[in-house]
Amino acid sequence: MTNHMTRLLAGVSLLLAPALVGAAPHPAQKRASAARPANNADARFRTLSEAEYKWRIDQNAADEDSGSAGSKQLPDEGPQAQAARLARWEATAKALDGIDPATLSPDARIDYMVYKGQIDALLAAQRFRDYEKPLTADTSFWGNLASWSRGSFTRESQYRDYLAMMRAMPRYYDQQIANMRAGLARGFTPPAITLKGRDIGVAQVVDGGAGDDQPFYAPFRTMPATMPAAIAAALRAEAKAAIRDDVLPAHRKLLAFLRNDYIPHAQVSTAAYDLPDGKAYYRSKIREYVTADMTPEQVHAIGLSEMKRIRARMDGVMKEVKFKGDFAAFLTFLRTDPQFYAKTPQELLDRAAWFAKSFDGIASDWFGRLPRSRFAIKPVPEDLAPFYTAGRGGTGIYLVNTYDLPSRSLYALPALTLHESAPGHAFQMPLAAENKDLPAFRRDSYLSAYGEGWALYCEALGEDMGFYKTPYDRFGMLSYQAWRAARLVVDTGIHALGWTRAQAQAYLHDNTALSDHEIETEVDRYIAWPGQALSYSMGQLAFQRARAKAEKALGPKFNIRAWHDAMLQLGYVPLPVIEARTDRFIAQGGKGPYPDEEGS
C-alpha cells in the first residue's frame, strides 16, 4: 500500500457508541438510501459527508500506484491550505457531533461510524502536523511523483496531466521543503538512521539530465502509434522543456536540502515518544491503525501471546522435517541454503507468477464474487528496492522485490503472493472499488486495520486451501505470521517501551526466518512509520475470531464462500463491523450477500 493514500485517507477510531456496531445491515439488500427517500438525519449526514469527501479528494494529487481518485494537479501544501484543512475537519467533526447516530437508518449508522473515524484520524494528523514529516523509511512525496513516470499513457490528456504535474514541481517541492524545515526545527522528523541513502532517487533524477535518459521522460520514449506524429513531437518538446526548466531545478534544490540540512540534522531517537507531544501522538497512531483505543502495553502483550502460539507451530514443522539442531540453527539453515533462493530476478518473478496463477485455479472454491480488475506482476523499481519490503500489492499491481536475491526466500513466496496479490490486496481492493452500493469514502479510503488484516488472514487461509505444498512453504507462512505478531511487540517496544533498534532487530532475527537485510529494512520501516505495523495482526485476529464464531454457530450450514463474500462486500470498515456483519450472517442462516450466485 502506498503511504500517500494511507496517510491521507485511512484511520478509524472506535470512540463511538456500541449501538453503531450492533446495527449492521444485511448487505444482500440494496442500501436503504438508494431504495427509498432518506430520513432527515440521513439526508444531513449524506450532504455533510459527500461534500467533505469531494473536497478532500480535490485536496490530493493522484499518484500512479495509489489507485485513488484525486486532482490531476499537485496539491497545495502551503500554510494557508494546511490551516484550511484543519478548519474544515474541525467544522466537520463538530457537525458530526450534532447528528445523533440513533436517528440514522441502519445503513447510514455504519457509514457514520466509518466516516467519523476517518475525520477523527485526519483531524488528529492535522493537529499533530504530520504534513511536516512527508516521508517514511520507504515512501516519500518525491517517490509518489516518480511513480507517474512508470505509468502507461494512452491518451493525449494523460500526457497533458503529466506535463502539468512536472511544471508544478518547483512550487510543490518548495512547499514540502518549507514544511520539512518546520518539522526539523521542532524535532519532528523520521529518525536519522532511517534516512540513510534516501537521497538516491532524487540524485538519479538530477543525474539523468534533460535528455532521453531522464527518468521523468520515460513515458515519452514510446508513445501510442495511434497518436498523430505532430502531437507526439509537440508533447516530447514540451516534456524536455518542463524537465529542463522545472523538474531538474526542483530536484537539485531538494537534493541539496536533503544532503546538507535534513538528513544530517534529523532526530537521533527512534522512539515516537520522543517526538513533540510524543505520547499523545503515538496513542493517536494506535487509534488510527488498530481502530481501537488501546495502550501500547496492551498491544505489546497481545503480540507476546501470539508469538508464543505461533512459535509452537514453527517448532512442530522443524520436527516434521527431522531437522537436527535447535531453532536458531534451523533459521540459519533456511537463511543460507541455496535451495531456498532464486538465482536470477526473473526466476523470482516467474515463481511469483506461478503462485498467483495457481490461486486462480481454486479461487471459485473459496469466493463467490471475483473482481473484474486484473493485476500485473512487476519488480520493485531499482531506486526503491534497497529500502523496500519483499513485495507490495494493490489495485492492478503486485510488486516483487528482486534486489538482493539471497534475502528473498522462495519458501515465503507463496504466503507473500497470497497477501499482496490474490486473494489479498490485488483482489480485495478492486472488489471494494467495484462495489457501487457503498459511498465513495468506503470504497476508496484505505483502512489499514481492515485491508492489512484481510491480507494477513489470506496468508493463513492458504493452509486451508492446500496452497502450501511442502513443510518449508508452511514454515514460510508461519514465519510471516510470526513476523506480523512480532510487529506488535517491536513497534510498541521501539516507540513506547524504550527498545533500541538493535534490540528490535534481534527480536525478529531470533523469532522469524526473515533475512538480515529484510529485518533491517523492516525495523527501519516501523521506526519511521509509528503504529502502521500494528494493523496487520490486529486485523487478522478480528477476521479469525469472526470466522470461528460463524463456524461454531452455523455448523454444517457454514459456507466459506458466502462468509468471504460478506466480508469483502463491506468495503473498508473498522474492526467491530466485521463481527457485527458476521452476527448478521449467522442470523440469516449463513446466507451470503449475493443470493443469486450459486453456492452463496
Residues 126 and 148 in one domain: no
- The Cα 577–Cα 570 span in angstroms is 9
The 3-state DSSP class for residue 468 equals: coil
- Residue span of the structural domain in which 247 resides: 141-189+192-266
- The Cα 54–Cα 69 span in angstroms is 10
What's residue 35's pLDDT?
43
Q: Does 386 map to a domain?
A: no
Residues 124 and 66 in one domain: yes
Q: What is the mean pLDDT of the chain?
A: 89
Whether the predicted pLDDT of 245 surpasses 50:
yes
Residue 310 cell numbers, joined: 505461533
Residues 179 and 123 in one domain: no
Identify the residue whose cell numbers are 534497497: 386
The 3-state DSSP class for residue 588 equals: coil
Domain tally, the chain: 2
Residues 145 and 123 in one domain: no
Residues 76 and 49 in one domain: yes
Residues 203 and 177 in one domain: yes
What's residue 142's pLDDT?
94
Q: Please, what is the Cα angle at 457 between 451 and 459, to 5 degrees?
A: 110
Transcribe 140-154 into DSSP letters: BHHHHHHGGGGS---
102 burial via Cβ count (<10 Å: 0-12, 13-18, 19+) = exposed
Q: What is the pLDDT of residues 73-100, one digit of tens each?
A: 799 999 999 999 999 999 999 999 999 9
Q: Does 240 map to a domain?
A: yes
Q: Does 478 map to a domain?
A: no
Residues 228 and 116 in one domain: no
Identify the residue whose cell numbers are 502536523: 129
- From 176, 273, 307, select the one nearest 496 (Cα to Cα): 273
Residues 23 and 87 in one domain: yes
What's residue 38's pLDDT?
52
Q: Does 295 map to a domain?
A: no
Residue 280 cell numbers, joined: 499523545
Q: Does 253 map to a domain?
A: yes
Please say which residue of 212, 244, 266 terminates a domain. Answer: 266
- The Cα 218–Cα 383 span in angstroms is 15
Q: What is the pLDDT of residues 183-219, one digit of tens each?
A: 999 999 999 999 998 899 999 999 999 989 999 999 9
- From 541, 534, 537, 582, select the one nearest 559 (Cα to Cα): 582
The 3-state DSSP class for residue 30 equals: coil
Residues 128 and 146 in one domain: no
Q: Are 377 and 353 in contact (CB under 8 A)?
A: yes
Residues 150 and 93 in one domain: no
Q: Are 126 and 85 in contact (CB under 8 A)?
A: yes
Q: Are 151 and 159 in contact (CB under 8 A)?
A: no
Report the range of poorest mean pLDDT among 122-131, 137-146, 167-176, 399-408.
137-146
Integer-rounded Cα Rg, in Å, for the chain is 24
The 3-state DSSP class for residue 394 equals: strand
Q: Does 254 map to a domain?
A: yes
What's residue 462's pLDDT?
97
Residues 153 and 223 in one domain: yes
pLDDT mean over 380-389: 85
Q: Which amino acid is at 183?
A: G
Q: Are 210 and 243 in contact (CB under 8 A)?
A: yes
Please say which residue of 92, 115, 133 terminates a domain. Answer: 133
Q: Does 124 map to a domain?
A: yes
Q: Does 205 map to a domain?
A: yes
Residues 226 and 252 in one domain: yes
